[in-house]
Amino acid sequence: MRIVSVVGTRPQLIKAAALSPALRARHEEILVDTGQHYDDAMAGSFFRELGLAQPDHALGAGGGSHAEQTAAMLRGLEPILTDRQPDVVLVYGDTNSTLAGALVASKLGLPVAHVEAGLRSFDRRMPEEINRVVADHLSRWLFAPTPTAVDNLRAEGIQDGVVLVGDLMQDLAARVGREVVDAGALRDVRLRLAESSEGIDLEPGAYLFATVHRAENREPDALRAWTALLRRVASPERPVILAIHPGTRLALERAGIRLAPDVRLVEPQGYRTSLTLQMHASAVLTDSGGVQREAAWLGVPCLILRDTTEWVEAVADSGGRMVVVGLDADKAIDALARLSPRDRASELARERTRAFDLAPAGAADAIVAALEREA
C-alpha cells in the first residue's frame, strides 16, 4: 500500500514515531509535515530525537488563526495527494492538521484512516473537539484507543471500520520510560536546563511539572486563573517547572501577566526530557491530553487543568491519582495534599520509579494489520 501520513504537531510526531516503523516495514509511507508546530523548539527537534525520517513534504503552514492555518494546509495538501494518489491518507488526533488532511482526502475520494478516533470531551468550545468529530465522520478506518472511544462512535452511528487498537503513545512511553527511571536521567536534564534556566535544581519529588497550551486557557480570565493557581501551589521548596508553549508565552505578555517567582519557565522540551521531568516530579499539572496519558502510565499524580477530559479511562483507572481540577486553586491544593504531601513527595517519587513496569499496547501492529485486512 501507499500511505500518506499527515503530521504537524509534537504529539503527532510522537504517535508517528511509534507507528511509522511498522508501516515502513511492509508498505510505502509518504510523510507530510504541515508545520503546525513550526519552530525547532516545538517540533524540529522531535524528528531528530525520535528517529523519524525527515518529511517527504513540508508545507510550512505556520501560525495564524484557525482559518488561516487550516487554509494553508488545504492548499498545500491537495496537489500532493492528487499527485501521489495514495491508498490511504492517515491522520492523527485532533489538530488543524488532522482536519485538513481528512477534508482534502475525502474531497478527492481518497480513504481516510484516523488514529485516535472516537475521543470526545463533549465540549464544542474546544477547537480540538470539532476537528476530531469531523475527522471521524469522514474516515473509512477509525482506530480507537479505548473502549469508551468505541462507544462514543457507536452513539454517533459509526460502527463500520471501527477497530479498538490501543494507544500508540503507550508503545513509545513503555520503551522510553524504562530508559529514564533512573535518577541519573534527571541529573542529565538538570545540567542541560541549568545552561538556559538559572536556579533550577531538580531532585526527585522536589518540583511540580506543568504544561498549559489549550486555546481556552489563553483567554484573559483563564490566564489569570491558572497563573494564580500555579502561584499558590509553588514554593521555594517545591517550585513549578512550566514548559512554556510559545503561544502561551505570547498570551501572557499581551495580558501583562507575570508569573510567580517560584514558577520557573523552561522552553518546550523534547519527548525524552519531558517524560523524565514527569517521571520524577512530585506531580504534574496540565491541560494536555498527551501529558495526561503519559502521567497516568508513569503513575505520577496528575491535576488536569480543564473542566472535562476525553481520556475518561485514564482518570477512572488511576486509583484517584488523576483529578480534574479545572482552574480551581483550592481543588488543586487539596489534591496535592492528598496525592503528594510535601513531607513524603521525594519518597513517593522514588517508590514510583522503582515500581515502573509499563507494557506496550501493541497499537502499531494492530493498525497495520487492520489496514492490510480491509484495504
pLDDT in tens, the chain (375 residues): 999 999 998 889 989 999 999 999 999 999 999 987 655 555 556 677 788 888 999 998 877 788 999 999 999 999 999 999 999 999 999 999 999 999 999 999 999 999 999 999 999 988 999 999 999 999 999 999 999 999 999 999 999 999 999 999 999 999 999 999 999 999 999 988 887 666 677 999 999 999 999 989 999 999 999 999 999 999 999 999 999 988 899 999 999 999 999 999 998 888 999 999 999 999 999 999 999 999 999 999 999 999 999 999 999 999 999 999 999 999 999 999 999 999 999 999 999 999 999 999 999 999 999 999 976
C-alpha cell at 346: 521525594
Give whole-number Cα distances, 66 to 73, 131, 343, in Å: 11, 11, 45
Instruction: Return residue ranges of the chain for CATH 3.40.50.2000.
Output: 2-169+360-374, 182-355
Distance CA 173, CA 245 (A): 22
Cβ partners under 8 Å of residue 278, min gap 6 = 209, 284, 291, 294, 295, 298, 300
Burial grade of 265 (CB within 10 A; 0-12, 13-18, 19 or more): middle
Q: Which three cell numbers stand for residue 261?
A: 517567582
Residue 198 pLDDT? 62
Residues 6+ apart with CB under 8 A from 55: 7, 31, 32, 33, 47
Please tell me the distance from the alpha carbon of residue 348 to that of residue 357, in angstroms, as a whole number.
16
Position 46 scores a pLDDT of 67
pLDDT reported for residue 66: 85
Q: Active-site residue 27, yes or no? A: no
Please give the pLDDT value at position 375: 64
- The CA-atom distances, in angstroms, between 58 and each of 12, 29, 107, 146 are 15, 15, 21, 31
182-355 has CATH 3.40.50.1980 classification: no
Indicate which residue of 37, 114, 213, 280 is catalytic. Answer: 213
109 and 24 in contact (C-beta within 8 Å)? no
pTM assigned to the model: 0.88
What was the pLDDT predicted at 163? 98
Q: Give the CATH number of domain 2-169+360-374.
A: 3.40.50.2000
